[in-house]
Amino acid sequence: MARVVVNVMPKAEILDPQGKAVIRALGRINVSGVSDVRQGKRFELEVDDSVSRADLENIASTLLANTVIEDYEIEVSE
Amino acid sequence: MARVVVNVMPKAEILDPQGKAVIRALGRINVSGVSDVRQGKRFELEVDDSVSRADLENIASTLLANTVIEDYEIEVSE
């Protein structure tokens, strides 16, 4: 049994309106010094040992990320 | 200048319909062995050294997470 985290972020060249909205909102709470915010998704999966790295790549690229506009990274921990 | 990651996940007792939708979709791509999926948000911030830990807590709890239904964790790396 392993805990797997898949991080899905917009590709660098893709506009990120949600992140931009956070930057604009920082003025309202009087915080300066934040130069960039990007918003993506985090998935936490509980998988058993029958799930291979290839299965995880398949899950991430098929179900979790839109690989046209998003990059993903897979972190496996026991 | 530091890179800060804020992970925002639904609290354990909160239903997560997006995660459930992923679990149902796994059958379509013939992957078994995944017992749970939870979906949250990942924010990547670029901050300068004037931004304190208290500022980050303020940003996370005010703008990034809805603390009624979500937990957050803050990871700072150089």
What CA–CA distance (Å, rounded) separates B59 from A40?
Answer: 16
What is the pLDDT, as a whole number, of residue A23? Answer: 95
Residue with tokens 């915080």: A31
For residue A1, the model assigns a pLDDT of 82
Amino acid at A28: R
Binned at pLDDT 50, 70 and 90, residue B1 comes out as confident
- Chain B environment of A33 (Cβ under 8 Å): 47-51, 55
Chain B residues with CB within 8 Å of chain A CB: 1, 7-9, 19, 22, 25-26, 29, 31-51, 55, 58-59, 62-64
Q: Does the distance separating the beta carbons of A59 and B29 come in below 8 Å?
A: yes
A41 contacts on B by Cβ (under 8 Å): 39-42
Q: Is residue B18 over pLDDT 80?
A: yes
Whether pLDDT at B2 is above 80: yes
Which residues from chain A sit within 8 angstroms of residue B45, using beta carbons?
Answer: 34, 36-37
Closest residue in chain A to residue B46, using alpha carbons only: A36
Report the distance separating Cα A78 and Cα B77, nearest Å. Answer: 23
Q: What percent of chain B has pLDDT over 90?
A: 94
Is the interface score ipTM higher than 0.90?
Answer: yes
pTM: 0.93
Domains detected in chain A: 2-77 (3.30.1280.10)
Buried b (16+ CB within 10 A) or exposed e, A8-46: bbbeeeeebeebeebbeebeeeebeebeebbbbbbbbbe
Q: Is it the case that residue B31 has pLDDT exceeding 80?
A: yes
Q: Is the pLDDT of residue B33 over 80?
A: yes
Helix, strand, coil percentages (3-state) for chain B, rounded to 5, are 30, 40, 30
pLDDT of A8 reads 98
Mean predicted lDDT score pLDDT of chain B: 95
pLDDT tens digit string along A1-59?
A: 899 999 999 999 999 999 999 999 999 999 999 999 999 999 999 999 999 999 999 99
